[in-house]
Structure 1
Amino acid sequence: MKIGIIGATGHVGTFLTNEALTRGHEITGIVRNVPEETQDHLTFLQKDVFNLTTADIQDFDVLICSYNAPEGEEEEHVQVMKHLVDILKGTDVRLFVVGGAGSLYVDSKLTTHLFETDEFPDEFKPTSINMSAGLDYLKNSDGVRWTYLSPSKDFLLNGARTGKYKVGQEQLLISKYGKSEISMADYAIAMLDEIEEPEHQQQRYTVCAM
């Protein structure tokens, strides 16, 4: 497939790019700054996400948004969702969003988000609140084919690539070891699995280490 990845050179974006390349997909990294050293079979579109147009993305089969708003500008998570919905409407491009864990619920009745709990770090709340609002906007949008994947509470940059994970919907998952965690490598595997064999269209879901 032809896959565009917004933020392809970021932490999560790098794992997604590498996983997609190993599976033989045609990848375009959408970035503000093109790195000096690049990989084979990887092309770049140098453009700010807010300047993307329908013409830029309409030839992709999938557009992955791995955007991370700068500190102090967390409201851009909502603005990015609005912009992507606008340019994707009326196309066949599937939108995949790298979400956050803060918007997951911690109770079976789905009344309390993780970011609303006492132990959630204050410094992460602006990002989580705005990412949650962006998800709500996406859920209420029409004419866009989307999937939103939230990681577990601990999103591990240097975690092992096991190729195994368990899947949930709106509630925070816990592994058999009592931890809510997923490596970025396994998260990338989960997203590419979903891209290749869709099971969560028009849904948010989450993955956790076994």
Structure 2
Amino acid sequence: MLALHVPKGGARVVDFSVGEGRNLYYYPKDTVQVVGVNPNPKVPMLEAQAAYAKVPIRILPDVSRLPANSMDAVVSVQGMEDMSDEQVETVLRDAVRVLKPGKKFIYIENVGAENPLVLAAQQSIEGLGKLFGKKYTVTRDLLSFILKTKGFEVIKYQVVLGFQDPHIVGIATKKQQTTTGAGIGKDTIPKKNKKEKVPQQTGLSDPQKIEFSGQ
């Protein structure tokens, strides 16, 4: 998934699921830099993994210091299961901010199962986590969070292993910016005709359920 959808040719990537560095081996070999977001990183381990994977890494607690419109891809591979809903909303807003227009947020995350027995097991896991003071969410409807995030215009997804170990796999593309009379990089805002009711423009197409290859 990462090798196919992270751009080749010197990409700069934000990874919200850097963890211990497992994703580093799946990036294109010419990736210029991976910004690993981890508030409590194991720096020596990550640096060692990056050296083995031959991918330059920069470790940050968050992306507040990164310029807007500066990254070629944003990635989360099971990075949101330990996050609260509010943290997920923040991550998605941050993804939109740092991505270049037309670039992709690539995600593979847990979702609730269609099989009621599996769903019950997932909910039990979440309940056990709460008993031990850990936030662990494996039934979140991530697609609904992405749809509510302003700035994405094309969303493609697939639910895999829906009856066993369900995950949502997908990409969300940041809205392209257009040139207007007011300047460069502004979104075009249609003028309203007072005589006509103009439907609300969201810039977001309906999410497309597709099948990804090479996951």
Normalised by the size of structure 1, how large is the TM-score?
A: 0.51
Q: Are 1:29 and 1:45, in contact at CA under 8 Å, matched by a contact in 2?
A: yes
**Who is 1:92 aligned against?**
102
Cα shift at 1:152: 4.3
Q: Is the alpha carbon distance of 1:17 and 1:128 closer, same or farther for their aligned partners in structure 2, counting shifts above 3 Å?
A: same
Of the two structures, which has the highest relative contact order with CA contacts closer than 8 Å and spacing of 6 or more?
1
Correspondence 1:118 to 2:102: no
Higher helix share: 1
Aligned residues: 156
Partner SS for 1:136: helix
Q: Distance in 2 between matches of 1:47 and 1:90?
A: 19
Q: Distance in 1 between matches of 2:104 and 2:117?
A: 28
Q: Is the alpha carbon distance of 1:55 and 1:3 closer, same or farther for their aligned partners in structure 2, counting shifts above 3 Å?
A: same
Letter aligned with residue 125 of structure 2: E
Deviations 1:95-119 (A, max 9, x none): 11222132x545xxxxxxx699434
Match 1:139 to one of 138, 147, 163: 147
Deviations 1:155-190 (A, max 9, x none): xxxxxxxxxxxxxxxxx26xxxxxx359x9xx9xx8
Q: Are 2:16 and 2:76, in contact at CA under 8 Å, matched by a contact in 1?
A: yes
Q: Is the alpha carbon distance of 1:137 and 1:101 closer, same or farther for their aligned partners in structure 2, counting shifts above 3 Å?
A: closer
Instruction: Could you tell me which runs of 5 or more consecutive residues in structure 1 were left unpaired when the two chains were aligned.
Output: 107-113, 154-171, 174-179, 196-200
Q: Distance in 1 between matches of 2:125 and 2:165?
A: 19
Cα shift at 1:88: 4.7
Q: Is the alpha carbon distance of 1:3 and 1:9 closer, same or farther for their aligned partners in structure 2, counting shifts above 3 Å?
A: same
Letter aligned with residue 147 of structure 2: K
Q: Choose 1 or 2 for highest CA Rg.
A: 2
1:48-127 equivalences under 5 Å are 48-49=61-62, 51-52=63-64, 55=67, 58-66=69-77, 67-68=79-80, 70=82, 74-75=84-85, 76-85=87-96, 87-88=97-98, 91-102=101-112, 105-106=114-115, 117-124=119-126, 127=137
**Who is 1:28 aligned against?**
34
Normalised by the size of structure 2, how large is the TM-score?
A: 0.50
Q: Distance in 1 between matches of 2:80 and 2:105?
A: 16
- Percent pairwise identity: 8
Tell me how large the CA RMSD over aligned residues is. 4.5
Instruction: Could you tell me which runs of 5 or more consecutive residues in structure 2 were left unpaired when the two chains were aligned.
Output: 1-6, 128-135, 174-205
Correspondence 1:10 to 2:19: yes
Q: Distance in 2 between matches of 1:83 and 1:119?
A: 32
Cα shift at 1:43: 1.6
Q: Distance in 1 between matches of 2:24 and 2:107?
A: 14
Cα shift at 1:28: 1.0
Cα shift at 1:136: 0.8
